[in-house]
Amino acid sequence: MPKFEYAPAPESRAIVSLRESYGLFIGGEFTPGARAFKTISPATEEVLAEVTEADPADVDRAVSAARKAYEHTWAPMPGKERAKYLFRIARIVQEKARELAVLESLDNGKPIRESRDVDIPLVAAHFFYYAGWADKLDYAGYGAAPRPLGVAGQVIPWNFPLLMLAWKIAPALACGNTVVLKPAETTPLTALAFAEICQQADLPAGVVNIVTGAGETGRALVTHPGIDKVAFTGSTEVGKEIARACAPSRKKLTLELGGKAANIVFEDAPVDQAVEGIVNGIFFNQGHVCCAGSRLLVQESVYDQVLAALRRRLETLRLGDPLDKNTDVGAINSAAQLAKIRELSEAGEAEGAQRWSPPCDLPVKGFWFPPTVFTGVSQAHRIAREEIFGPVLSVLTFRTPAEAVEKANNTPYGLSAGVWTEKGSLSLWMASRLRAGVVWANTFNKFDPASPFGGYKESGYGREGGRHGLEAYLDV
Amino acid sequence: MSALDLRGFLHGLPGVDQVGAQARAAMLASRSVKTTAKQWALDAAISMIDLTTLEGQDTPGKVRALCAKAKRPDPADPTAPMVAAVCVYPDLAHVAAADLKGSGVHVASVATAFPSGRTHLEVKLADVKYAVAAGADEVDMVIDRGAFLTGNYQHVYDEIAAVREACGGAHLKVILETGELVTLDNVRRASWLAMLAGADFIKTSTGKITPAATLPVTMVMLEAVRDFRETHGRQVGVKAAGGIRTAKDAIRYLVLVNETAGEDWLDPRWFRLGASSLLNDLLMQRTKLATGRYSGPDYFTLD
């Protein structure tokens, strides 16, 4: 029995008022559809609500509503007027921050500490940031009065449901586009709550449309001829399929796909903070992060020291109820994802890597996977090459900076990388050689709306965030 | 260890990234401590207090009043634990020693020309011996920050070692005065320097300089004692002093201890809070937890 056992400190669910069933948000109203599916809490497998599955006809209605709003209302509206709506949305998100955080943790399984301190504040920040651009597009570097594209079809993943929505909708609306967005089938609830926020903000009907559903709905959306722009965040596999589907059309496409980021720790690193960075890199959001630092590259001269410190630190991680304010690691988002994590972890063992997890009790119900570290991993192992998208860290070693660069770049992905050293010149030397969209120096998984984000190689193309993020939604 | 070796060792310690350290401390400060955990934490915090009065206007009367408070913090509730020690200037140590004899509350005396430490080593040692002779069983010394900042680590080391010897059987707490060392790299080096020279405790501050104890500074010191035990096999305590006024603050420090050095340090023998007004806030929260009602400050004795 530990001396100082933190008593349960659950955030109250009472603040969230869930409806029994949700329709599709089309033309400013919730409208019924033919089929429905259930969304559950991955921590308990409890059914949270019933959600409509949009079929091609529903998607068509949504695209028409978006087209009408684009032509008659949103595109002709002066930027300074569009900005007012975006500012209003940002403020409502802030006002409803607690409710949205609880809802996100319920539907996604992520710890409330993360939805409260990271996801929701960043959602508001994105809307505030792009609201500021709406009347300044002349100065974005694309010439005078850049034109919007039209109707954007956006498909987002389940790992940061509302934040990915914000990354997609805020720049699209700021530039004068209207959107049809499909949230992931396992995490539709905050997108539907966002639809209510659009109503509350008096956003003109049809500017934002939310169609829920699974892969079929997504396919109907991105292949719809009335779409001018497709934005997708998700797996590389689906990304390739979308790229093929869009290739014969004039649709502008941005893809933000998988990753297998290297987190590189040099011998002169600030060890305690590097260990925090490793933990934050791979166990933040249960490792359901496309830019997760899933490959730890440690310089051999400090390998023992870093690994010992990492193991000690992992023993303090608190896994359990996502709504408990002291939880560090929550639930895996779905049974399917859990199966994939298990499969790859078993492959890691079969290929000869050593598996280690701190002692931790997993809840009986729901989908759970303990924080896991594989040592003795080589570049050839599947767990070093394939994206696991779970709380599984593969540890590799290197001897010189050049070898670190070589190993870090030796992957089909290139979304992010981390460099830990007290030597500024080495950070810069590494950053100029790492083929990754984001290189973090002495930190990891830090996001800001002003900073562009995107990948190299199979991690996708196009940038989201910052001034660069405007390009994807302008006819330039 | 030669002066050069000592310098090499201290500069060879892993650096501290300030932004990362602050972020970690802030994250731990967001832990939610409720109900039974809070109950335990409030009592633990009380039992870790070095109840302190270090004023020019201190008198035997003031010290006696403080001793009474230390032994029985809440006259209305005998289940409230005693504090760990009473901390005074050397010339009043005998008053505290007489009052606290047999109570289990320790007598701590600051020494070595507290708080600045700007005098000759002979004077500092005499100060220490005087305090110990007067009955102090814990001595809180200050390091020579000037020597530390000029890189004369050997001088700081030798002074601590000399004071260690002058303490005899008394416990030595070494005050780093982190508010004057400024960087977290310096805090880590000074922590190791003090431990290598024989400190039983390392302490953040005198309380006379702002900033005094902060969460990131205390976290770096806790990392140092944790790592020192691993490499040298000796456990050293940590005392956070100055600026800790509320029960909420105190609980944050306990969380920091729990998740940085570990629960071995969650004991008055290994972790102390140097404070004065903190005690009454802890007592007030304690009463609130027991009765469900807040009472006013007038229901808790001043000292």
Q: What is the DSSP string of A279-304?
A: HHHHHGGGG--TT---EEEEEGGGHH
B258 touches chain A (CB under 8 A): yes
Write the pLDDT tens digit of every residue in B176-230. Answer: 999 999 999 999 999 999 999 999 999 999 999 999 999 999 999 999 999 999 9
Rg of chain B over CA atoms, in angstroms? Answer: 19
Residue B267 structure tokens:
């004991």
Q: Distance of alpha carbon A119 from its chain centroid, rounded?
A: 9
Residue A305 vs residues A213, A298, A300, A399: alpha-carbon distances, Å: 48, 10, 10, 15
- Cis omega before residue A449 (within 30°)? no
> What local confidence, expressed as pLDDT, does residue A1 receive?
83
How long is chain A?
476
Q: According to DSSP H, which parts of B108-183 are helical?
A: 121-133, 145-149, 153-167, 178-181
**Annotation marks residue A360 as catalytic:** no
Residues of A in Cβ contact (< 8 Å) with B14: 268-272
Arithmetic mean of pLDDT, A173-183: 98
Write the pLDDT tens digit of every residue in B28-84. Answer: 999 999 999 999 999 999 999 999 999 999 999 999 999 999 999 999 999 999 999
Arithmetic mean of pLDDT, A383-395: 97
Q: What percent of chain A has pLDDT over 90?
A: 100
**pLDDT score of B297 more than 90:** no
- Tell me if B14 and A270 make a contact (CB, 8 A cut-off): yes
> What local confidence, expressed as pLDDT, does residue B303 receive?
79
Write the pLDDT tens digit of every residue in A78-110. Answer: 999 999 999 999 999 999 999 999 999 999 999
Residue A362: count of CB within 10 angstroms of its CB = 12
Q: Please provide the average confidence, as pLDDT, over all residues in chain A.
A: 97
| Residue A393 to residue A391: CA distance in whole angstroms | 7
| Residue A440 to residue B15: CA distance in whole angstroms | 18
When divided into structural domains, chain B yields a total of 1
Q: Which of A290, A458, A464, A471 is catalytic?
A: A290
Residues of A in Cβ contact (< 8 Å) with B15: 268-270, 422
> What local confidence, expressed as pLDDT, does residue B302 receive?
84
Asked whether residue B302 is domain-assigned, the answer is no
pTM value is: 0.96
Q: Locate tokens 């502008």: which residue?
A: A252
Q: Locate tokens 């009473």: which residue?
A: B86
* In CATH, A262-441 is 3.40.50.300: no
> What local confidence, expressed as pLDDT, does residue A62 receive?
98
| Residue A281 to residue A299: CA distance in whole angstroms | 18
- Which chain A residues in 99-118 lie under 8 Å from chain B, judged by CB atoms? 113, 117
Q: Which residue from A284, A263, A258, A260 is spatially nearest to A397, judged by alpha carbons?
A: A263
B42 touches chain A (CB under 8 A): no
**Annotation marks residue A349 as catalytic:** no
Q: Which residues contact B243 (CB under 8 A, 6 or more apart)?
A: B205, B207, B210, B211, B212, B213, B214, B249
Residue A408 structure tokens:
């870090």
Residue A442 structure tokens:
């002495």
State the Cα torsion A95-A99-A100-A105 to the nearest 10°: 150
The interface predicted TM-score (ipTM) is 0.95
**Annotation marks residue B140 as catalytic:** yes
CA distance B121 to chain A (A): 35
A268 touches chain B (CB under 8 A): yes
Which CATH number characterizes residue B171's domain?
A: 3.20.20.70
Domain that holds residue B174: 3-297
Helix axes A271-283, A303-314, angle to 10 degrees: 60
Beta-carbon pairs below 8 A across chains A and B: 71
Three-state DSSP class for residue A22: strand
Asked whether residue B268 is domain-assigned, the answer is yes
| Residue B86 to residue A50: CA distance in whole angstroms | 63
CA distance B36 to chain A (A): 6
Write the pLDDT tens digit of every residue in A291-333. Answer: 999 999 999 999 999 999 999 999 999 999 999 999 999 999 9
Write the pLDDT tens digit of every residue in A194-248. Answer: 999 999 999 999 999 999 999 999 999 999 999 999 999 999 999 999 999 999 9
Q: Which of B137, B185, B239, B281 is catalytic?
A: B239
Residue A154, beta-bridge partner list: A181, A231
- Chain A residue with the nearest C-alpha to that of B24: A276
Q: Which of A2, A7, A276 sits opposite B20 (nearest CB)?
A: A276
Q: Which superfamily does A13-257+456-471 belong to?
A: Aldehyde Dehydrogenase; Chain A, domain 1 (3.40.605.10)
> What local confidence, expressed as pLDDT, does residue A290 receive?
96
**What would you measure as the largest C-alpha separation in chain B, in angstroms?**
60
- Chain A residue with the nearest C-alpha to that of B16: A270
- Cis omega before residue B268 (within 30°)? no
Q: Which residues contact A291 (CB under 8 A, 6 or more apart)?
A: A259, A261, A415, A416, A438, A445, A453
The DSSP secondary structure of B239-272, one letter per residue, reads EEESS--SHHHHHHHHHHHHHHT-GGG-STTTEE
CA atoms within 13 A on the CB side of A273: 28
Q: Which residue from B113, B31, B106, B34 is spatially nearest to B70, judged by alpha carbons?
A: B106
